[in-house]
Amino acid sequence: MQTVKMVISGAVNAGKTQFIRAISEIEVVSTERKASDDTKLLKGETTVAMDFGRITISDDLVLHLFGTPGQKRFDFMWEILSEGMLGLIVLVDSTRPETFRETNRIIDFFTSQRDAPYVVAANKQDHENAWAPDELRLALRLPAHVKIVPCVATQKDSVKNVLLELLYVIMQRSAD
């Protein structure tokens, strides 16, 4: 059985758990559930360790989805998680500009570690005060070749679309 993995990262409350939950065929495994810092203020059940989901591709191939811890104190896990990943999805909460700086830090970390394909998912596009993807590109200063995909992490079709967009990027860089 071959397994491949994708990493879902983003600042606290960007929607990583919801994203994986929307598409995983198994109940999302979260290794710890009790927030112990100010992230409690943002949501009742925040990710303090990591989320894990799975999609069976075929009898001999499985795709694993790993959600990274949002809090800065778990940075050390990012490097471990990114080892051998197929690609990376960076979720950004489009309604909270105060998280854009942290989002940039995450992108910077992963892109400096390895030359991994990635897309940015502009989550919470169904919210009235969401910044549009074009505005996020400018705010995050993303180069034109990096895809910013509109996303609603609670909707399966939207999550599928983000995964597919990442896979198209991976496909362009794949070997024959």
Partner 1 sequence: MALVGNLRDFALADFLYLIDRGYKTGSLQLNRQSAAATLYFEKGKLLYAAQAQERESLGEMLQRTGKLTPQQVQQAVQLQQTDGNQSLGTVLVEHDLITREDLQRHIQTHIEETVYSLFGWPDGEFCFNAGVKLDRDDVQSPVPLGVENLIMEGVRRVDEWGRIKDHIPNTDMIARFVDQPLEKAKSINLTPDEWRIFARINGKDSIKEVISRTGLSEFDVSRIVYGFISAGLVEVTRPRPPVPATGRAGAGAAAGAPKRSLVSRIINRIRGM
The residues of the shown chain that bind partner 1, judged by CB under 8 A, are 2, 4, 23, 55-58, 61, 63, 84, 86, 96-101, 104, 108, 111-112, 115, 128-132, 134-135, 138-139, 141, 156, 160, 163-164, 167-168, 170-176
Q: Residue 112: in which H helix or E strand, if any?
A: helix 100-113
Token couple for 140: 């995050």
Comparison of 50 and 166: residue with beta carbon closer to partner 1: 166
Q: Residue 30: in which H helix or E strand, if any?
A: strand 29-30
Comparison of 9 and 33: residue with beta carbon closer to partner 1: 9
Q: In what order do the strands lie in the sheet with 2-10?
A: 29-30, 51-58, 61-67, 2-10, 87-93, 118-123, 148-150
How many angstroms separate the CA atoms of 51 and 141, rounded? 28
Q: CB 7 → partner 1: shortest distance, Å? A: 14
Instruction: Let me know: does 137 contact 143? Beta carbons within 8 Å.
Output: no
Comparison of 33 and 160: residue with beta carbon closer to partner 1: 160
Q: CB 166 → partner 1: shortest distance, Å? A: 10
Comparison of 69 and 133: residue with beta carbon closer to partner 1: 133
Q: CB 98 → partner 1: shortest distance, Å? A: 4
How many angstroms separate the CA atoms of 22 and 139, rounded? 27
Q: CB 31 → partner 1: shortest distance, Å? A: 25
Q: CB 34 → partner 1: shortest distance, Å? A: 27
